[in-house]
Amino acid sequence: MSDTTGERTLRISVAGATGRIGSALLSALAGDDVEIVALSRDQSAERLPRGITPTVVDFEQASTLRKAVEGTDKLFLVHGTYGRQVQNEIALIDAAVDAGVSHIVKVSVMGPPLALHPFDWHTEIEAHLSRRDVGYTLLRPSTFVDILKSRAAFVSQGTWGGAAGDGRVNLIDTRDVADVARAVLLDRTDPGAQRAYHLTGPGALSMVDIAAELSRLLDEEITYHHRTPGEQRQVLLNTGVSEMIADLQLGLDRLFRLSIQAETTSTVFELTGHPPRSAIEWLKENLSAFKRV
Ligand SMILES: NC(=O)c1ccc[n+]([C@@H]2O[C@H](COP(=O)([O-])OP(=O)(O)OC[C@H]3O[C@@H](n4cnc5c(N)ncnc54)[C@H](OP(=O)(O)O)[C@@H]3O)[C@@H](O)[C@H]2O)c1
């Protein structure tokens, strides 16, 4: 098959297709002349857009990974934050390279290599990718703005807080990560190139700034309660989350407190032609989640 320019239609494998970025990517690619292979561990098509059936993979069975990427030009690789992320991503990278996929677009994370999950996991996967003979693009986004959704219940109960202090973070909308991924996947120049892009929203905010913005939008006083990391850990464990999730959340608070992801890059605009969506826009779109019941 070929497109209107006479070029062969790109065939793209999308791992994590049912997830946050993956599903936004499928929407972004909906009008493009591409063939999509949507990878999932789940054979039901319910979590995928209509018309797309999953290609079922089992990360413990390398042959299923190889079969899923066979004959595709590019692999988009995103994986949820779970214990076997490193092994699973590496297994899929190896399957893709062995199958002759020319370019891998991997979602990583912005920031220095830190001894903190999932930063250390991404450092390990990136290092593995760099040792394989394949073109790749690392997308290193700052923290996703929709992490605020998991704070919404606390906001509406008046108990929102944490150990982020007055540190700032430049939150990014996952739709912008997907738009960048689309641009990179559709780019046919230099498939063997190896690149890394740092992706941020349009400006950094502290949790106190976000509380002020929510107060304005909801027309009521919203407070971010400052806690020590120890106090916050206990609050999180009391909600019933696992130790790993509590530590991931505390890791985020540390990132915010130290303003590790506070810089602003122009990459989203340069690669997509549109400015990144702001955290304030996202709050407006999702305001109902923060309202008192
Ligand atoms: N959260 C942030 O603020 C942030 C910021 C920067 C970078 N990141 C990185 O972005 C990635 C997460 O992206 P996302 O939010 O789009 O992912 P996600 O929605 O959490 O998950 C993506 C897919 O992973 C699969 N998955 C779920 N559990 C799994 C498991 N135990 N084993 C194997 N696969 C599993 C699921 O697909 P199936 O069920 O269909 O198999 C899911 O749809 C992570 O690597 C994270 O480090 C996150």
Residue 132 has a pLDDT of 97
Percent of the chain with pLDDT over 70: 98
For the chain, give every domain's residue range: 10-141, 143-172+200-262+277-293
Residue 180 has a pLDDT of 99
Q: CA–CA separation, 131 vs 252, rounded Å?
A: 29
Q: Which residue has the higher pLDDT, 5 or 163?
A: 163
Kindly state the average pLDDT of the residues 30-39. Answer: 97
Q: How far is the CA of 107 from the centre of ligand 1 (A)?
A: 10
Residue 292 has a pLDDT of 83
Q: Which of 12-16, 44-48, 169-173, 255-259 has the lowest mean pLDDT?
A: 44-48
Nearest CA to ligand 1 atom 5: 143
Kindly state the average pLDDT of the residues 144-155. Answer: 95
Q: How far is the CA of 137 from the centre of ligand 1 (A)?
A: 18
Q: How far is the CA of 4 from the centre of ligand 1 (A)?
A: 35
Residue 176 has a pLDDT of 98
Residue 4 has a pLDDT of 55
Q: Average pLDDT of the chain?
A: 96
Confidence of residue 2 (pLDDT cuts 50, 70, 90): low
Ligand 1 close to Cβ of residue 111 (< 6 A)? no
Residue 5 has a pLDDT of 59
Residue 45 has a pLDDT of 87
Ligand 1 close to Cβ of residue 147 (< 6 A)? yes
86: which 2 tokens? 């490193």
Atom of ligand 1 nearest to the CA of 141: 6
Topology classification of domain 143-172+200-262+277-293? UDP-galactose 4-epimerase; domain 1 (3.90.25)
Kindly state the average pLDDT of the residues 207-216. Answer: 98
As a CATH number, domain 10-141 is 3.40.50.720
Kindly state the average pLDDT of the residues 234-256. Answer: 95
Residue 1 has a pLDDT of 55
Atom of ligand 1 nearest to the CA of 17: 43
What is the model's pTM? 0.96
